[in-house]
Amino acid sequence: MSRTNDPARAEVLAAIRRSLGVTGAEAPRRAAVEERLANAPRGVIPARGQADGEERLAVFAREVEISLATIARVESAEAVPAAIAEFLREHNLPAAIRMGEDERLAAMPWDETALAIERGPSAGGDLVGVSHAFGGVAETGTLALVSGPQNPSTLNFLPDTHVVVVRASDVARDYESLWARLRETYGRGLMPRTVNWVTGPSRSGDIEQRLFLGAHGPRRLHVVLVEG
């Protein structure tokens, strides 16, 4: 049953309208909603990420590490495969990765490494997944990952280790700036099915208030920041 024909949902919405004394068809209310959706007004934005150039990247890198992830900075996209191979060696991880069909990743010189590469969504048996982020957020060290065959969402959650590549030019000051670029890139009504905002590895402190990594996803997140 579609959500539009869900009687339980319809009853909840009807109860809300009755409590507000409205029907939902009032022209001023509909105009206000349409204006807000069209203009996407910004709220209060923290000053932490409002920098440019190297200062913004430094804030992003610091926030990535505060979130318990690691980060490597490389000068060009051509240096990414070697940086990932080095990271896997340093952490005694297998030289095997899974990635999607992202053209930016495909153009990198993977054949210059000894990495074994599988492509497509993860079924849960992969130890290392590699994705290319749509962008990053300096104020919190967050990565924005859009769903699709280029970067399957399964890679964000199923592998034990997630390596994410992001271009320095795609690191925005704040969430609002990156949402604006998402809307501009895809257009209204054409947004990706899912936009995942990832800040550090999966973790939980629910049990005895002890921090546990990998509670609901990867227990290790490594960011490769491409500066060139």
- For 43-91, the three-class secondary structure string (H helix, E strand, C coil) is CCCCCCCCCCHHHHHHHHHHHHHHCCCEEEEECCHHHHHHHHHHHHHHC
Give residue-wise pLDDT tens across range 38-58.
Answer: 777 777 778 788 889 999 999
Q: Where, residue-wise, is CATH 3.40.50.10420 in the chain?
A: 53-226
Tokens describing residue 96: 């095997």
pLDDT band at 216 (very low <50, low <70, confident <90, very high): low
Judged against a pLDDT cut of 50, whether residue 1 lies above it is answered with no
Position with higher pLDDT, 190 vs 112:
112
What topology is assigned to 53-226 in CATH? Rossmann fold (3.40.50)
